[in-house]
Structure 1
Amino acid sequence: MNINYLRTFLTVLETGSFSAAARMLSLTQPAVSMQIQALEDYFGTKLLERRGRGLELTRAGELALRNVSHLLELIDSTRKEIDEMTSEVTGPLLLGASTVPGEHLCPTLLAMFIQRYPRVKPRLLIENTSVIVAKLERHEIDLAIVGAAPKEAEIRAEPIFQDEIVLLVPPKHRFASLEQVPLDEFCREPMITRSAGSGSRLFVERELAQRGINMGRLGVVLEVGTSLAALNAVEAGIGVALVSAFAAEKSVRLGVVAKKRVQGLSFNRSLYLLTLHRRYGGRSIAEMATFLRSPEARRAIEGRVGTWEK
């Protein structure tokens, strides 16, 4: 029996249908049906019955449900113990990241990690925060770095790096010569924002809301999917933008945009390491999580923007 079929069984129950489970697992619906049928053949009885448009557990299915989650936890625990018996860290690792950490931090972090563990084979997946969180929930990635802490109970979010969202303006913009931008003028200025689902956008919306400012008050003229697109739009003179200091670092150094702060607003935020509670994916994943929490990783990342004012 394939252990992944047990995970498919749980996903079918969580989603309530074969089609929804197929979408969540990136499988075809016939493949999901085949896996459930294989489980039923293995146990020699039906586990699920169709009831109208839904599914209902049989008595055997109820028994399977009680034991499968515990069994999968035991398998993960056994894998952890076996990994700890071996001295060398090897194997695949799939790191998910939202756009700011994915594009601007992860290359440096992965280079350091690969130098330490050359037999680990990492892959990096970059999407917006909401997509990354969903993929972690579905076990499609092993761990993640994002710009906003999710609320899902099964996900552990640990702050690992500090970032600042800064206001970027064209070098010849009237704001460029100001020490700080007045709040009322900021609210009236043509604004470029990140798209919905972005960790940066979620953070900015929360911070503005705490000060009684609705995003609808801002003069948004363009929504973009990445920080790079926002930077290019500022450089082109379309408007101003609130962007991560990590993403803006090179453009500010080159002088193609100017970095400003808004009076009365502070956009300091954490970037988060996301892992799943009660899941052990292998020693390579555990070592990556340990590395990302380390002072060495923090110094390598946060030291990069510390010389801006010099």
Structure 2
Amino acid sequence: MNVNYFRTFLCVIEAGSFSAAARQLGLTQPAVSMQIQALEDYFGTKLIERQGRTLELTRAGEEAAVNIGLFVESLDATRKQIDEMSTEIAGPVLLGASTVPGEQLCPLLFSMLIKRFPRVRPRLIVDSTTSILEKLERRELDLALVGAQPKSASLRAEPVYTDEIVLLLHPTNPLALQKTVRGEALYREPFVGRVAGSGSRIVYERELAAAGIIPGRLHAVVEVGSAVAAVNAVEAGIGVALVSVFAAEGALRQNTVVARRLAGLTMLRPIYLVTNNRYLSRAVAETAAVLRSAEARQAIEGRRGLWPLE
């Protein structure tokens, strides 16, 4: 029996409905129902009865809730005790990251981590912000680094670094001659957009709208799945893009693109370290400590300040 099914059962009881539990766990409602059905099949009896829009525990369900709660609590305590017996920080850490943190920041961060804890084995999953946060809610990941704050109450986010989204232009674009670019100029340019679910897109659409620039009026000629692809598209002369300055580092160094700010608009965005509400192993906890350390912050912020934007 999958231990996570026990956690789902307890979450359904606490949330009061399958749909509310599904939202908290980052699962679909049918998936929650399937897990409860699997538990009932395992115990050979009904645990939960639907009464209209409410749920009621059967007598067997009440007994199961008490014992499953004690079992999960004991399991977590045992894991913590065994973890603390070890004098060495070691073990796997599964980190999920959106494209900019994953591709641009994690190599440097992992180098710092491995130097400090040689037996920690980080594994990196790179996907959209939305997908990474869903995986973290489902406990498929230990930690996440993303460019947008999660909405779920089951996740805890803390800002650890600051990124800046800038307007990226081909050097031959007349706008590259300006120190800053008026936002309205974007309406007249072919635009390289990010796909839905991207943390960068969430941020730049929000900031543009707040400045009176309507994202839906931009002439998007292509949408791409990563910041690096957006940089490559600008280098190829396809259009302009709003891109993380971290992702544009290589192209800026080679002078194949130009970065500018929009007039009156500085798009700073936090990069968040996100955890879910569960016990962290020592390897995971120490990894989180490295990611939030002053040393890591200084190294990352130093890279952002390399490129003059006006």
TM > 0.5: yes
Regions of 4+ moved over 4 Å: 10-15, 29-36, 48-52, 54-57
Change in CA separation of 1:214 and 1:248 when aligned onto 2, cut-off 3 Å: same
Change in CA separation of 1:74 and 1:264 when aligned onto 2, cut-off 3 Å: farther
What amino acid does structure 2 have at the position aligned with 1:200? S
Instruction: Give RMSD over aligned pairs.
Output: 3.2
Q: Secondary structure at the match of 2:308?
A: coil
Residues 8, 35 of structure 2: 8 Å contact kept: no
1:280 is matched with: 279
Residue 57 of structure 1 deviates from its aligned partner by: 4.2
Q: Can you give the 5+ residue segments of structure 1 that lack an aligned partner in the other structure?
A: none
Greater CA drift, 263-272 or 29-38: 29-38
Residues 24, 138 of structure 1: 8 Å contact kept: no
Change in CA separation of 1:256 and 1:65 when aligned onto 2, cut-off 3 Å: farther
Change in CA separation of 1:47 and 1:298 when aligned onto 2, cut-off 3 Å: same
Residues 48, 61 of structure 1: 8 Å contact kept: yes
2:96 is matched with: 96
Residues 147, 199 of structure 2: 8 Å contact kept: yes
What amino acid does structure 2 have at the position aligned with 1:115? K
Residue 305 of structure 1 deviates from its aligned partner by: 2.8
- Separation in 2, partners of 1:283, 1:221: 47
2:110 is matched with: 110
Change in CA separation of 1:239 and 1:6 when aligned onto 2, cut-off 3 Å: same
What amino acid does structure 1 have at the position aligned with 2:274? L
The question of 1:124 aligning with 2:124 is answered: yes
Change in CA separation of 1:149 and 1:69 when aligned onto 2, cut-off 3 Å: farther
Change in CA separation of 1:193 and 1:74 when aligned onto 2, cut-off 3 Å: farther
What amino acid does structure 2 have at the position aligned with 1:155? L
Residues 94, 143 of structure 2: 8 Å contact kept: yes
Residues 9, 36 of structure 1: 8 Å contact kept: no
Q: Which of residues 22, 37, 41 is equivalent to 1:37?
A: 41
- Separation in 1, partners of 2:194, 2:70: 41
Q: Percent identity?
A: 54
Residues 147, 272 of structure 2: 8 Å contact kept: yes
- Separation in 1, partners of 2:104, 2:252: 14
Residues paired across the two proteins, number: 303
Q: Can you give the 5+ residue segments of structure 2 that lack an aligned partner in the other structure?
A: none
Q: Deviations over 1:85-131 (max 9, x none)?
A: 32101111110001110111111111221222121222111110111
Change in CA separation of 1:24 and 1:110 when aligned onto 2, cut-off 3 Å: farther
Residue 69 of structure 1 deviates from its aligned partner by: 4.9
Residue 34 of structure 1 deviates from its aligned partner by: 5.0
TM-score by length of 2: 0.85
Q: Deviations over 1:56-82 (max 9, x none)?
A: 742322443466456534533442344
The question of 1:234 aligning with 2:234 is answered: yes
